Amino acid sequence: MMQIKENAKQYDAVIVGSGAGGGMSAKVLADAGLKVAVMEAGPFFDPKDPETMTQLKWPWESPRRGRSTPSRHFGDFDMAYGGWSLEGEPYTQKGDSDFMWFRSRMLGGRTNHWGRISLRFGPIDFKHRSHDGLGDDWPIGYEDVKPYYDKLDKLIGVFGSNEGLYNDPDGFFLPPPKPRLHELYYIKGARKLGIPVIPSRLSILTKRINKERGVCFYCNQCSRSCNAYADFSSGSCLIFPAQNSGQVDLYNNAMVRKVVMKDDGKAKGVSYINKEDGKEYVIEGKVVVLAASACSSARILLNSKAPGHSNGIGNSSGVVGKYLHDSTGSSRAGFIPALMDRKVYNEDGVGGMHVYSPWWGDNKKLDFGRGYHIEVWGGMGMPGYGFGMNMDGFNKMMGFPQGGYGDKLREDVKRYYGAVIGFGGRGECIAREDNYCELDPDVVDEFGIPVLRFNYSFSDHERLQAKHMQQTFEELIDAMGGKVLGDTPTKEQNYGLNKGGEIIHEVGTTRMGNDPKKSVCNKYQQLHDVKNVFITDAGPFVSQADTNCTWTIMALAWRASEYIVDQLNKQNL
Amino acid sequence: MDRRDTLKTLLITGVAGGAVASTVLSSCKTDEPMIAIPESKLTIGRTPSERERDQALLDNDFLTAEELTVVATLCDIILPATSSAGSATEADVHNFIDFIIQDIPNLQTPVRGGIAWINNEASTRFNSSFVDATEEQKMEIIDDIAYPDKAAPEMSSGVSFFNRMRDLTMTGYYTTRMGLDDLGYVGNRANIWDGVPEDVLKKHNMSYDPEWLAKCVDQEKREDLASWDEEGNLLS
C-alpha cells in the first residue's frame, strides 16, 4: 500500500470505484494520457493470484462445501467480498421498505463474480415514454451509444449471434458455445410455445481477442473470476491494462467520504478514509469521476455538503437518490423426467447459460408495462453444499420409494443428477420518483459517514410482470414434459417477485436529462451543478431495460470519458 | 487423549464388530489411523478474516467423542462402502457434519437432540446405548425411522433426525473426491466444450439445428485472433 501524504499530487482525474464504470473510465482516460487515481474501498484483487483464487478448487476445499457465509453471500467460492450486508457498513429502511443493497469491496467490484450477461439496450429502451407513456425518455438514443457498444464488443469480447432483432441489436460477437442437453430441451419446449430462443450473449472469450487474455477453457466458474482473464472482470480487463500506461495510481482500502469543493464552485478532489490507518486524506484532481455504484455515488453526492450545496453537491434539483430501480426478478425450477438416469460427461461449459430468450411479448396486449428476458440454468454441475439432499422430493413426484439408506441412496442421487432445469425472469421495473435512497439522519457507518436509507416499493407493473413470468415458466416446464417444483407463488407473495436490489442491477439515482431542474447530470453524465464532476456508473440511467445494465454502464462510461478528454483539451473544465 | 483419538478407540470397540465398519478396518493398515484425519483444508483463497473464522471452527469440536461416534455409525449405515466406493466415514463425512453444525448453529440442537433420541430409544428397547447395541438391534431402530412415508407416527422425531442425517451425509459425501468419483463427475478441469456427445443426442432423440450450429464456435479456430467485417460478421 502506497503512503499518501495530506498534500498528495494533483491528478487529472480522480475516479471513485474500480468496477465496470470506474474500470472503463480509468482505461479510456489513461489511454488518452491523463494522470489518473483510482480509489477502491476494498483490497487489491487479481484473479490469478493463488493466495485468493477459488477457481478450479474442489468442493471439499471449502470446509462448508461452498455454502454461503456472511462474507460471501453467493457461497464460499464466489468472488465477491461482501454481499447484501457488510460488517460495519449498515443501511436502513423507511417504513416497510425492504431494499437489498449488494456491495462488493475489492478491486473490480462486482464484476469479479457477475453473470457476464452482456446485453445492449435497444432503440426503444432509450425512448420508452414515447412508446408507452411510462417513465421518461433518455436525452440520448441508441444511435448515440451504438458506436461505443461496437467498440466495447471488440475491446472486451462478448459471444453471441446477430439475429436482426430490432430491440436486441446485433453487435460484434465472438461465436457462442453449442447448447447443452437441457438447453436443447429448453429450445424445443420454448419453440412449441412460440417463445424465441437465441444463443446467449456473455462477455466470455470463446476465441482469442488479444495476447493478454486467454481463451475460455469451459470450467463453468466465471463467478470465481478467471485466472486466464477469459471472462470480463474490470480489474483484469480494464484496470491492469490501464496501469500498463504508467498513468494510473491505484488506492486500495480507500473509503471515499465526499467530494471536496473549491471556492470557484468546482470540485477540488475527494476526501477518503484510509482503512489501514483510519485517517482521512484529500486527493486532488482536475476532474472527479464517481463510479462507486449507483447508490454509493448518490451517497457521496448527498454527503458532499458545501456552501451553496446544502443538500449535497449536484442536487439543486433534489433528484439525487430518486428514481432508484433494480431489474425485476422471479424464478422457478422444474424437474424433467426425460433427463433422469443420464450418462455422465463433462458439460460444465461456460460460466452461465448457452441460450436465452429475449423479450417476445407485446405489452400493449398485456396488463403490465415492460418486458423481461428468460435466463436458463441446469445440467450436471459440480456438487456443492445441498447436493444430494431431499431426494425424496423427486421420489414423491415419481411415485418411487422414499427414504431408506445404503445403495438405494446412491441410485437416487445418480438418477436425478442433471434432471432439474431452472428459469430466471429478469425484467424492467418502471422508474418512479418515489423510489429513492437518502441519507439517514441518525445512522453512520464505522467510518462516521452517514448511511443510506431506502424507500422502495413495487407497482402492479412489476407484480403482474412477475405473475406472467411464473405462468410462462410453468408452461415452459410443461412443454418440456416436466413437473414444476414448488407451489405457484400467490398474489400475497407478489407472484415470487424478488425484493428490490436482489437482482443487483440498481440504477437511476443520478439520472441524466436536459433539464437541470429534473435531472442530476447532462447527457454526458456531467453534473449540471458542478461541471468537473462526472458519474460513470449506473446512476445516470433514466430507465433500466429488460436486459442487464453492465454493457450499457461501460458503453456510456466510455462515451462520458471521451467527453472528459475533449473538454479537458478545450480547457472547459 | 483428544476427541479424535477417542473416536478411533470408540469406533474399534463400538463399531468394529459390525458389518458397517468392516470396510473401514479392512482397508486400513495397522500403522495408519482407522479414519483419515486430514490437516487443515483451507486451500482456497480466503481473506484474512475468513481464514481466521474458518480455522477457529475447524479447531473447535462441537460434538463429544461419544456423540461423534453415533454420527459416524449413522453415516456408515446411510452410505456403507460398496465394491467400488468407500463409505461415508472413509470420506470423513462425520467430521464434515461436526463442522457444518458449528457453521449452521440452528442445526446444533436438532443433531445433539437426535443423538440423544436414538440413545434413549436404544436404552428403552435394549437397555443399551445406540452404539453398543447389536447390529440387529441398531437396524431395528433404523428401519423404524428410515422410511418417512411408512414410519409409525410415534417415530416422527426419529424420522426427522434420520432425514437430517441422511441429507447431511449425502451432501457431505458427494462433495468429496470419493463422492464425485461415485457420481462420475468429470468436470472442474480445463477442457473444450464442443457439444453434447452424439450417443447422448441419439438417446434423447435430439439433434443440433444446422442453422444454430453454423453460429457456434469452431473450436479448431479458438486461438485465431477474432476479426470482423463492418457488419459484425466474424471473419476469423
Query: Number of folded domains in chain B?
Result: 1
Going by pLDDT thresholds of 50, 70 and 90, the confidence category of residue B4 is low
CB contact under 8 A, B103 and A67: yes
Residues whose CB falls within 8 Å of the CB of residue B62, separated by 6 or more in sequence, listed in order: B98, B101, B102, B108
pLDDT at site A428: 98
Please provide the average confidence, as pLDDT, over all residues in chain B. 87
Q: What's the whole-number mean pLDDT along residues A130-138?
A: 97
pLDDT tens digits, A530-572: 999 999 999 999 999 999 999 999 999 999 999 999 999 999 9
Q: What's the whole-number mean pLDDT along residues A425-449?
A: 98
Cα dihedral A35/A39/A42/A48 (nearest 10):
-20
Going by pLDDT thresholds of 50, 70 and 90, the confidence category of residue A9 is confident
Q: Which residue in the set B142, B190, B232 is minimally distant from A170, CB to CB? A: B232
Burial class of residue A217, CB neighbours in 10 A (0-12, 13-18, 19+): middle
pLDDT at site B173: 98
Residue B130 lies in a domain: yes
Residue B202 lies in a domain: no
Neighbours of A70 (CB within 10 A): 12
Beta bridge partners of A256: A272
* Residues of B with Cβ-Cβ distance to A178 under 8 angstroms: 193-196, 208, 213, 216-217
* Residues of B with Cβ-Cβ distance to A184 under 8 angstroms: 196, 201, 204, 206, 208
Residue B140 lies in a domain: yes
pLDDT at site B42: 72
Please provide the average confidence, as pLDDT, over all residues in chain A. 97
pLDDT tens digits, A406-426: 999 999 999 999 999 999 999
* Residues of A with Cβ-Cβ distance to B167 under 8 angstroms: 388-390
- Check residue A204 and report its DSSP letter: B
pLDDT at site B73: 98
Cα–Cα distance between B36 and A68 in angstroms, integer? 26
Cα–Cα distance between A32 and A245 in angstroms, integer? 10
pLDDT at B178 over 50: yes
pLDDT at site B43: 85
Cα–Cα distance between B141 and B152 in angstroms, integer? 12
CB contact under 8 A, B226 and A207: yes
pLDDT tens digits, B84-143: 999 999 999 999 999 999 999 999 999 999 999 999 999 999 999 999 999 999 999 999
Q: Does B218 reach chain A within 8 Å, measured CB to CB?
A: yes
E-strand stretches of B7-149: none
Q: Which residue in the set A175, A342, A392 is minimally distant from B215, CB to CB? A: A175
Cα–Cα distance between A80 and A66 in angstroms, integer? 13
3-state secondary structure A220-266: CCHHHCCCCCCECCHHHHHHHHHHHCCCEEEECCEEEEEEEECCCCC
pLDDT at A125 over 80: yes
E-strand stretches of A446-562: 450-455, 483-484, 533-535
Size of interface A-B (CB pairs under 8 A): 253
CB contact under 8 A, A177 and B224: no
Q: Does B118 reach chain A within 8 Å, measured CB to CB?
A: no
Q: Which residue in the set B99, B174, B192 is minimally distant from A64, CB to CB? A: B99
Residue B68 lies in a domain: yes
Which residues in A335-353 are b (16+ Cβ under 10 Å) and which e? Answer: bbebbeebeeebbbbbbbb
Query: What values do phi and psi take at A484, rounded to 5?
Result: -70, 135
- Domains observed in chain A: 1-45+105-116+119-149+232-317+508-573 (3.50.50.60)
pLDDT tens digits, A242-298: 999 899 999 999 999 999 999 999 999 999 999 999 999 999 999 999 999 999 999
pLDDT at site B27: 37
Kindly report the length of chain A.
Answer: 573
Q: What's the whole-number mean pLDDT along residues A137-166?
A: 98
Q: What's the whole-number mean pLDDT along residues A19-48?
A: 98
Cα–Cα distance between B12 and A297 in angstroms, integer? 63
CB contact under 8 A, A348 and B187: yes
pLDDT at site B38: 42
CB contact under 8 A, A343 and B197: yes
pLDDT tens digits, A294-319: 999 999 999 999 998 999 999 999 99
Residue B211 lies in a domain: no
Task: Compute CA distances A343 → A101, A340, A418, B169, B206, whole Å.
Answer: 41, 9, 10, 24, 15
CB contact under 8 A, A405 and B228: no
Cα–Cα distance between A393 and A198 in angstroms, integer? 32
pTM score of the predicted model: 0.94
Return the closest-CA partner of residue A93 out of A417, A452, A409.
Answer: A452
Residue in this structure with the C-alpha cell 466495447, named with its chain if needed: A152
Task: Compute CA distances A556 → A286, A408, A524, A527, A550, whole Å.
Answer: 21, 56, 8, 15, 10
Please report, as a single letter, which amino acid is at residue B117: W
pLDDT at site A6: 58
Q: What's the whole-number mean pLDDT along residues A428-443?
A: 98
CB contact under 8 A, B215 and A176: yes
Going by pLDDT thresholds of 50, 70 and 90, the confidence category of residue A110 is very high
pLDDT at A200 over 60: yes
Q: Does A262 reach chain B within 8 Å, measured CB to CB?
A: no
Q: What's the whole-number mean pLDDT along residues A222-234?
A: 98
Residue B152 lies in a domain: yes
Q: What's the whole-number mean pLDDT along residues A186-211?
A: 98
Q: Give the mutation candidate from A150, A185, A410, A415 for the B interface (greatest B CB count, under 10 A).
A: A410
pLDDT at B212 over 80: yes
Q: Give the mutation candidate from A67, A221, A405, A412 for the B interface (greatest B CB count, under 10 A).
A: A405
* Owning domain of residue B37: 3-183
pLDDT at site B15: 38
Residue B80 lies in a domain: yes
Return the closest-CA partner of residue A440 out of A94, A55, A89, A167.
Answer: A94
Cα–Cα distance between A525 and B53 in angstroms, integer? 43
pLDDT at A350 over 50: yes
Residue B109 lies in a domain: yes
Residue of A nearest to B210 (CA): A178
Q: What's the whole-number mean pLDDT along residues A161-188?
A: 98
- Residue A277 in contact with residue A285, Cβ under 8 Å? no
pLDDT at A4 over 50: no
